[in-house]
Chain A
Amino acid sequence: MKKQMAACIGLVCTGLMAPLAQATTTLTVYSALEADQVKDYKEAFEKANPDIELRFVRESTGVITAKLLSEKNNPQADVVWGLAATSLMILDQQGMLQGYAPKGVEKLNREFVDKAHPPKWTGMDVWAATICFNTVEAAKKGLPKPESWADLTKPVYKGQIVMPHPASSGTGYLDVSAWLQMMGEKKGWDYMDKLHVNMAQYVHSGSKPCKMAAAGEYPIGISFEYRGAELKEKGAPIDLVYPKEGLGWDLEATAILKGSKNLAAAKKLADFSVSLPAMQLYEKNYAVVAMPGVARQNPYIPTDYAKRLSKNNFAWAAKNREAILQEWSRRYESKAAPKN
């Protein structure tokens, strides 16, 4: 009886402890990839490396960046796979990244790899600002199709536009950063002041504006090309608009955290991230990937897409990120009355 009791208690206790006993290495990966991409990427890596299991912590860019920074003294992540290069540069400025030249990194476009030796981060693909424009709702409301960023400030679009919040969303930040770089600081903020008048909502993620546009909740969503192409493919009544002044963009990139206890496995993931099979996965989602010659044409993305990207000074965008977000919040978050 007593033995049974002891066995029972033992069972209860082991039940209480999380079952962690597995022979494989578990790598903690922080990521801002889209949820529908994570599944494919994870499967592909684990198939190639059966002894490593990936534990994904997925959040939007702003949240992941804040989380990594707050864990600076006690890093929980081994690898970052799929985070904005501007965010990774901030981590690098804090001395948080481990330099490593992944096998095959020389095959990548040098523009898309960190200049340090060995590089602190390696690029995966480019994602860029795109406007999702719901043609059905626009017709009902008699809205013309916008062609440029400047068009969006026209009074006819008042209350018709949604965009991602730049503090939580990487897509939101690349818009703000590009406007400031293209127009200059003063004109950039003036532009956003005007845009703010037309803005219906700032939302949490970069995908949501396009999903809202696709569902007709708001006719215009400032989003990025992957989500737009994916929703159009599914039959959403949207047109993708690539504003003529230029598209803000950022790189999705990979880096190893300094102090990772699974460095060997982390390096394997970094190697995989720049390999051809990985690039072929990225290519399914993005028009420009870090390895030249891999990308194929997506019917919804223009052929001269790469030329439409605005000039982007990553170092500037990274260095000023906090100040820009603060100014943005001061201007647009503490406004006296909620708008209708």
Chain B
Amino acid sequence: MLSAVLRWLPRGGQTGIAGEARIAILLLWALVAVLLLGLGLPLLFIFAKAVQDGDGGFVGLVNFAQVLQSPGLLRASSNSLQLGLTVTALVLPLAFAFAWALLRSRLWGRGLWRQIGLSPLLAPSLMPAISLVYLFGNQGLLKDWLHGGNIYGFWGVVLGELFYTFPHALLIIMTALSAADARLYEAGRVLGAGPLRQFLTITLPGVRYGLVSAGLVVFTLVLTDFGVPKVVGGDFNVLAVEAFKQVIGQQNFPRGAVVGLLLLLPAILSCLVERRMARRQQAALTARAQPFAPAPSWLRDAGALLLLLAIGLLLLALLGVGVAASFIKYWPYNLDFTLAHYQFDTVDGGGWSAYGNSLQLATATALLGSLLVFVGAYVCEKLPGMALGRSLLRFLAMLPMAVPGLVLGLGYVFFFNHPANPLHGWYGSLDLMVLCCIAHFYTTAHLTAATALKQLDGEFEAVAASLKVPFWVTWWRVSLPVCLPALVDVARFLFVSAMTTLSALIFIMTPEHSLAAVSIITMDDAGDTAAAAAMATLVVLSSAGLSLLLSLLERLLGRRNQRWRKPG
């Protein structure tokens, strides 16, 4: 079969326009096929499963009725909603303050503060939860702050989710805040508006879309995360944990599918709102805008520093306490230093081999994923014709944004674990998990790559075509080197995400290929909190280490490949 394909493909030397177009079409549909397999079909199977009984017979809406009637699930839904709204309301002002202090002050070391603000990205959502137990649990360091209160429950989960969602909100708000037009501030000053008035009438309206968009992202993240509520939730049950209980705990797949569909609702809603907004937003920034540069102000910088210190230290505490706890022999009775918690052989979860699997998974996701994403984005942005295929590909590329990991994971269980599926044998393998990770994080990666490619003039392709240079040569010789910084960003994003994610993979993982992030949950469930903290520490260190490595690489390559960006 391979030879047949090879014969059909043009040979070197006789590459005509027709041959090139044929390869382009082949490439396009291959990409569509991969995304359909990794995304479209599993999602369809959730819908199918939701209307079946346990043995696969069609039962209509019985499962929905059962779910809606069960008081536990209704309770969990309202808890989830309450939690999502609270966290969103709290994280937006915090992230805004942080972003403002970073972008509108002239403080020294803003790059470092930015890294601190984004540091929660390096950790699985379980890390802040574990840190919270060590900080405010019944034996916590700062337990007295709670005046006899208890971290297990609503507020504990809120705190953990604040940490987990903060960097996501920060990134979006920073983007919105950096697109400021200096001429507006100039005009405001001339008309006699003080700093407060300027802030209320220029700064805030300027970022309102960013704030809404960040709010939607945070809300969806909170609703679908179960790491934090699992560890510090206590009796506070949420929808995401309920889906987990139904599927893993009781193996009630149809009911899990219904809960999954419920979780899909807010995500789809967010996407619709987002699209509407994106259309209106385009007029906000004109070509004549002047970049805003803050004027020196001692008072403002002092305020900014205080903000950064307060929020930054809180973030570092929630990251650092878990790391420190992993080296303590027997909290709280024996505080000697030990490495014993890093010997995972007497605890659940797979230990070092789980960690090795996670590294392997993250590396494969980063390498294959960035290649796939870049080819996909190139096909979408740069190749002529093929309108239907390209819009299908674009749709599939944007779809993952609306699909929470938990829902995608359920879809994988239903689709790939179906006995009639010819790919059934693939179920439980690391390769399937790689596919799942790539599909799960596709949108962000795709948008990064597409943005970078859009900055390149379409003339490159036109000139290449007139010189009869096939597109893959242009891709390799021009697009790829120019977009290298974006490519490195995508690879880093995919690696760190695959390392820390829990929601999709926990459903398709098998004991042979256990994963680091999932093993943290297993260990915590068995009561081995210190070992869970140790594994979380390993995950954070690996993510941070790789990020650092890639930054160095970027700097090195940047010097060679990006010289053209400098004038003269």
Give A residues with C-beta under 8 Å from B: 6, 9, 16, 18, 35-36, 39, 55-58, 60, 62-63, 66-67, 69-70, 73-74, 136, 159, 167-168, 200-205, 207-212, 215-218, 235-237, 329-330, 333-334, 336, 338-340
Task: Tell whether, in the assembled complex, residue B526 and residue A338 are in contact, meaning their CB atoms are under 8 Å apart.
Answer: no
Min Cβ gap B12→A in Å is 11
Task: Tell whether, in the assembled complex, residue B234 and residue A208 are in contact, meaning their CB atoms are under 8 Å apart.
Answer: no
Task: Tell whether, in the assembled complex, residue B419 and residue A70 are in contact, meaning their CB atoms are under 8 Å apart.
Answer: no
- Chain B residues within an 8 Å CB radius of A329: 72
Q: Which residue of A lies closest to B138 (CB)?
A: A217
Interface majority SS on B: helix, strand, loop or mixed?
loop
Min Cβ gap B362→A in Å is 17
Min Cβ gap B66→A in Å is 13
Given A55-B512, A58-B348, A338-B234, answer yes or no on A205-B525 (Cβ-Cβ < 8 Å).
Answer: yes
Min Cβ gap B123→A in Å is 22
Stretch at the interface among B31-39, B145-153, B400-408, B554-562: B145-153
Min Cβ gap A226→B in Å is 13
Task: Tell whether, in the assembled complex, residue B235 and residue A338 are in contact, meaning their CB atoms are under 8 Å apart.
Answer: yes
Given A55-B512, A56-B511, answer yes or no on A69-B152 (Cβ-Cβ < 8 Å).
Answer: no
- Chain A residues within an 8 Å CB radius of B525: 60, 203-205, 208
Q: Which residue of A lies closest to B153 (CB)?
A: A338
- Chain B residues within an 8 Å CB radius of A57: 510-511
- Chain A residues within an 8 Å CB radius of B334: 235
Task: Tell whether, in the assembled complex, residue A334 and residue B72 are in contact, meaning their CB atoms are under 8 Å apart.
Answer: yes
Stretch at the interface among B245-253, B371-379, B464-472: B245-253
Min Cβ gap A29→B in Å is 10
Task: Tell whether, in the assembled complex, residue B152 and residue A200 are in contact, meaning their CB atoms are under 8 Å apart.
Answer: yes
Task: Tell whether, in the assembled complex, residue B526 and residue A205 are in contact, meaning their CB atoms are under 8 Å apart.
Answer: yes
- Chain B residues within an 8 Å CB radius of A67: 251
Complex Cα gap A209–B149 (Å): 20
Q: Which residue of B lies closest to A2 (CB)?
A: B6
Task: Tell whether, in the assembled complex, residue A211 and residue B527 are in contact, meaning their CB atoms are under 8 Å apart.
Answer: yes
Task: Tell whether, in the assembled complex, residue B249 and residue A63 are in contact, meaning their CB atoms are under 8 Å apart.
Answer: yes
Task: Tell whether, in the assembled complex, residue A201 and residue B511 are in contact, meaning their CB atoms are under 8 Å apart.
Answer: no
Interchain residue pairs with CB less than 8 A apart (12): A35-B347, A39-B346, A55-B511, A70-B54, A70-B251, A70-B253, A136-B333, A210-B527, A216-B332, A216-B333, A217-B133, A334-B71
- Chain A residues within an 8 Å CB radius of B139: 215-217
B112 close to chain A: CB less than 8 A: no
Min Cβ gap A230→B in Å is 10
- Chain A residues within an 8 Å CB radius of B29: none
Task: Tell whether, in the assembled complex, residue A36 and residue B347 are in contact, meaning their CB atoms are under 8 Å apart.
Answer: yes
Q: Other than A55-B512, A215-B332, give 5 A-B pairs with Cβ distance below 8 A.
A: A35-B526, A39-B346, A57-B511, A60-B525, A211-B528
Min Cβ gap A277→B in Å is 21
Task: Tell whether, in the assembled complex, residue A212 and residue B527 are in contact, meaning their CB atoms are under 8 Å apart.
Answer: yes
Given A55-B512, A58-B511, answer yes or no on A340-B149 (Cβ-Cβ < 8 Å).
Answer: yes
- Chain B residues within an 8 Å CB radius of A200: 150, 152, 234
Given A74-B419, A207-B527, A208-B525, answer yes or no on A216-B138 (Cβ-Cβ < 8 Å).
Answer: yes
- Chain B residues within an 8 Å CB radius of A66: 249-252
- Chain B residues within an 8 Å CB radius of A211: 526-529
Complex Cα gap A63–B528 (Å): 19
Question: For the side of the interface on B, what is the size category?
Answer: 35 or more
Task: Tell whether, in the assembled complex, residue B137 and residue A217 are in contact, meaning their CB atoms are under 8 Å apart.
Answer: yes
Contact among B54, B331, B511, B526 for A208, CB-based, below 8 A: B526
Within 8 A of A (CB), among B338-374: 345-349
Q: Which residue of A lies closest to B513 (CB)?
A: A18
Q: Which residue of A lies closest to B79 (CB)?
A: A338
Complex Cα gap A218–B511 (Å): 31
Given A57-B511, A334-B71, A334-B75, answer yes or no on A168-B54 (Cβ-Cβ < 8 Å).
Answer: no
Q: Which residue of A lies closest to B137 (CB)?
A: A217
Min Cβ gap A96→B in Å is 14
B292 close to chain A: CB less than 8 A: no
B186 close to chain A: CB less than 8 A: no
Given A200-B152, A208-B525, A216-B138, answer yes or no on A338-B236 (Cβ-Cβ < 8 Å).
Answer: yes
- Chain A residues within an 8 Å CB radius of B528: 211
- Chain B residues within an 8 Å CB radius of A62: 249-250
Min Cβ gap A186→B in Å is 23
Complex Cα gap A334–B349 (Å): 30
B473 close to chain A: CB less than 8 A: no
Q: Which residue of A lies closest to B429 (CB)?
A: A18
Complex Cα gap A209–B511 (Å): 25
B18 close to chain A: CB less than 8 A: no
Complex Cα gap A237–B334 (Å): 11
Min Cβ gap B308→A in Å is 34
Task: Tell whether, in the assembled complex, residue A201 and residue B234 are in contact, meaning their CB atoms are under 8 Å apart.
Answer: yes
Complex Cα gap A270–B373 (Å): 51
Min Cβ gap B246→A in Å is 10
Complex Cα gap A334–B75 (Å): 7
B164 close to chain A: CB less than 8 A: no
Given A18-B429, A338-B153, answer yes or no on A215-B331 (Cβ-Cβ < 8 Å).
Answer: yes
Contact among A218, A333, A338 for B72, CB-based, below 8 A: A333
- Chain A residues within an 8 Å CB radius of B284: none
Q: Which residue of B lies closest to A329 (CB)?
A: B72
B431 close to chain A: CB less than 8 A: yes
Min Cβ gap B220→A in Å is 23
Contact among B137, B250, B345 for A39, CB-based, below 8 A: B345
Task: Tell whether, in the assembled complex, residue B419 and residue A35 are in contact, meaning their CB atoms are under 8 Å apart.
Answer: no
Contact among B149, B332, B526 for A207, CB-based, below 8 A: B526
Complex Cα gap A209–B526 (Å): 9
Min Cβ gap A234→B in Å is 8
Q: Which residue of B lies closest to A227 (CB)?
A: B527
Task: Tell whether, in the assembled complex, residue B235 and residue A35 are in contact, meaning their CB atoms are under 8 Å apart.
Answer: no
- Chain B residues within an 8 Å CB radius of A16: 431
Q: Which residue of B lies closest to A40 (CB)?
A: B346
Contact among A203, A205, A218 for B138, CB-based, below 8 A: A218
Q: Which residue of B lies closest to A69 (CB)?
A: B251
Task: Tell whether, in the assembled complex, residue B152 and residue A201 are in contact, meaning their CB atoms are under 8 Å apart.
Answer: yes
Complex Cα gap A209–B527 (Å): 8
Q: Which residue of B lies closest to A212 (CB)?
A: B527
Complex Cα gap A330–B512 (Å): 36
Task: Tell whether, in the assembled complex, residue B250 and residue A215 are in contact, meaning their CB atoms are under 8 Å apart.
Answer: no
- For the complex of A and B, the 8 pairs showing the least CB-CB separation, nearest first, are A211-B527, A208-B527, A70-B251, A334-B71, A66-B251, A204-B525, A36-B346, A35-B348
Q: Which residue of B lies closest to A218 (CB)?
A: B138
